[in-house]
Chains A and B, each alone.
Chain A
Amino acid sequence: MLESRELTKKFGAKTAVDNVSLAMEPGHIYAMLGPNGSGKTTWMKMAAGLVKPTSGEVFFNGNPVGIESRKDVAYMSTEPYFYDWMTIESAGKYYNDFFEDFSMETYLRMLSDMDLNEKDKIRTLSSGMVAKMKIALTLARDAKVYMLDEPFNGIDLLARDEIRAAILKAATPEKLLLLSSHLVEEMEAIADRAVFIRKGVLIEVRDLEEMREVDGVSMADRYRSIFGHGEVQA
């Protein structure tokens, strides 16, 4: 469904994503894991069509990502990206205007569940409230792929619970969810597959259940073994 082939992105002399070939299938929640600067965000932005690769390509359902894929791929950036004048409600109207799969009803229900007031200006919200609003905005789309970059960044435990619940509710057999986070334990409770990426290089993609059964290690253990000592262990 979502696939990158020999994908590379360079920023000047720095290689953010290095020759990454990766295929992801619907019906799974993928956790993209790696330390800061490992290329997770850049990979997602290329998959969302926001950043142009230096070489290689990203495909959605066999076609290069572009205008058509944006109809089915919902991307949530970790940074706030709303216009200064927007309220929570007008951000919903904006999505409603541009995305056919967006449901204003679902959005308003999620806002209510998350205790957010739709009349509030986004620029006056705390980072936790913005994080919840972004989740509601993204998950109110009936997209085929959801890419959530650092959805748990800078938010308290209760808000995390709400976001986790919203993410799990969106996960169905037809959908693909890709999440990136530094909070490995948090991700372990949600994801069923893990993509380990370091310094722009894809280390491995693992089925978490299989990893627990075969290797007898958790995702957090594997994370430590890959990133903890600078050496990748088999």
Chain B
Amino acid sequence: MMKLLKYEFRKTAFPKLLIFALVLIMECIFLYGCLTDQDDTKTLGVILFTMAVMFGFLLVGILSLVTLHKDMNTRQGYMLFMTPNSTYKILGAKVAECSLTLLVLGAVGLGLGALDFSIVEKEVQFLTSILKNFNPDLLPTFPNISATLFYILCSLLCSVITAYFVDVISSALLNGKKGNLLITFVLYLLLSYVTHAIQGLITLIPAIGTVTSFLLQGVVALVLAGIMYVITVRLMDRYLSV
């Protein structure tokens, strides 16, 4: 599994390094604004940094999906499916690679975000006092941010595995069939809607706090991802030809 993981990282190492470099460049813009005391640069830095992290999350998911798609639909898949590894391990390495990259990106985002916030804490005190009166759940405290990040990461992972599942259906069952792309796209939208609806059921629990709600929704996303992972592996074992 570790060897598979190593090569999964290697396949998309360059674009991932670019993502991290982009996040660091945006952070540097913010720090430059702090050092030169330019409010506009600081604001721009924060906005760009947040966008880079969010864009990075999305890109990591897309990269993971593109790699799986290439492994199933091009000759390079032989490199993977010729090896004496079970499909659970092969797909598991892909899920682990995507999860770890998301986690590291999340940790970098959270760490640098916390650093940035501590630098400008006094300047944004007015904002935090407004939030405190309006909705304390929106305060940028560690539990709030951690729970939100956990929710985002789990939901994103669930979306990635949903995409894996749909891509496997497309490659193994609908390959070469008329309307494959349309069916795949509609199926993805439908499954995404269903998974989000199931996650949303958590919010119906009475008197549940925002932090608890986010944590539980994250756990539900992980369970759904696990179920889809097992179904995906079975579909690959039964129908996938590379």
Interface, chain A (partner B; CB < 8 A):
11-12, 45, 48-52, 67-68, 70-71, 75, 77, 79-83, 85, 94, 97-99
B75 touches A94 (CB 8 A): no
Inter-chain residue pair count (beta carbon < 8 A): 56
Whether B224 sits at the interface, judged by CB under 8 Å, is no
Q: What are 5 A-B pairs with beta-carbon distances under 8 A? A: A50-B82, A81-B79, A85-B11, A94-B7, A97-B3
* B75 contacts A79, C-beta separation under 8 Å: yes
The answer on a CB contact under 8 Å between A80 and B75 is yes
Q: Find out whether the CB atom of B242 lies under 8 angstroms from the CB atom of A83.
A: no
Is B122 an interface residue, CB under 8 A from the partner? Answer: no
Q: Are A98 and B84 in contact (CB under 8 A)?
A: yes
Is B176 close to A, CB under 8 A?
Answer: yes
B7 nearest CB neighbor, chain A only: A94
Which residue of chain A is the closest to B74 with respect to CB atoms?
A: A81
CA distance A143 to B173 in the complex (A): 33
Distance, CA A75 to CA B77, complexed state (A): 13
Instruction: State which of B75, B84, B176, B238 has its C-beta within 8 Å of the C-beta of A71.
Output: B84
Residue of A nearest to B79 (CB): A81
- Residues in A whose Cβ lies below 8 Å from that of B241: 45, 50-52
Known pairs A67-B86, A81-B77, A83-B10 / 12 extra A-B pairs, C-beta < 8 Å: A12-B176, A50-B78, A50-B82, A50-B241, A75-B82, A77-B78, A80-B75, A81-B78, A81-B79, A85-B11, A97-B7, A99-B83
Q: Assuming the A-B contacts A50-B241, A52-B239, are A82 and B76 also in contact, with contact meaning beta carbons closer than 8 angstroms in the complex?
A: yes
CB within 8 Å of A: which residues of B? 3, 6-7, 10-11, 75-79, 81-86, 176, 238-242
Q: Is the interface of A mostly helix, strand, loop or mixed?
A: loop
A77 neighbours in B (Cβ, 8 Å): 75, 78
Chain B residue at smallest Cβ distance from A97: B3
Closest to A45 in B: B241
> A53 to chain B: closest CB distance in Å?
9
Task: Give the interface centre of B77, B238, B240, B241 by most chain A CB atoms within 10 Å.
Answer: B241
Q: Is the CB of A98 within 8 A of B76?
A: no
**Bound-state Cα–Cα, A51 to B242, Å:** 6
Please state if B85 and A67 are interface contacts (CB–CB under 8 Å): yes
Do residues B82 and A48 form an inter-chain contact, with CB atoms below 8 A?
A: yes
Given A51-B241, A52-B239, A52-B240: A98 in contact with B75 (beta carbons within 8 A): no
Which residue of the partner chain B has the closest CB to A86?
Answer: B79
A131 to chain B, nearest CB (A): 15
Q: Specify which chain B residues have a CB less than 8 angstroms from the CB of A49 in the assembled complex.
A: 81-82
Residues of A within 8 A of B77 (CB): 50, 81
A68 touches B76 (CB 8 A): no
Please tell me if the beta carbons of A81 and B7 are within 8 angstroms of each other in the complex.
no
Please pick, from B11, B85, B240, the residue contacting A98 in the complex, using a CB distance under 8 A: B85
Residue of B nearest to A84 (CB): B76
Which of B6, B86, B242 counts the most chain A CB atoms within 10 A? B242
Q: In the complex, which of the residues A51, A52, A67, A81 contacts B75, with contact meaning CB atoms closer than 8 Å? A: A81
Specify which chain B residues have a CB less than 8 angstroms from the CB of A75 in the assembled complex.
78, 82
Cα A71 to Cα B83 with chains together (Å): 8
Q: Which 7 A-B pairs have the closest CB atoms?
A: A81-B78, A81-B75, A98-B83, A51-B241, A70-B84, A71-B84, A97-B3
Q: For the complex formed, measure the closest distance between the CB of A103 and the CB atoms of chain B, giving whole angstroms.
A: 17
With both chains docked as a complex, state the minimum distance between the C-beta of B169 and any C-beta of chain A, in angstroms. 15
Q: Report the separation of the CA atoms of residues A70 and B81 in the bound assembly, to the nearest whole angstrom.
A: 9
B3 A98 Cβ-Cβ under 8 A: yes
Chain A residues with CB under 8 Å of B85's CB are 67, 98
Q: Which of A49, A67, A81, A85 has the most C-beta atoms of chain B within 10 angstroms of its own C-beta?
A: A81
B84 touches A85 (CB 8 A): no
Chain A contacts for B83, CB-based, 8 A: 70, 98-99
Given A50-B241, A50-B242, A51-B241, does the pair A83, B84 have CB atoms closer than 8 Å? Answer: no
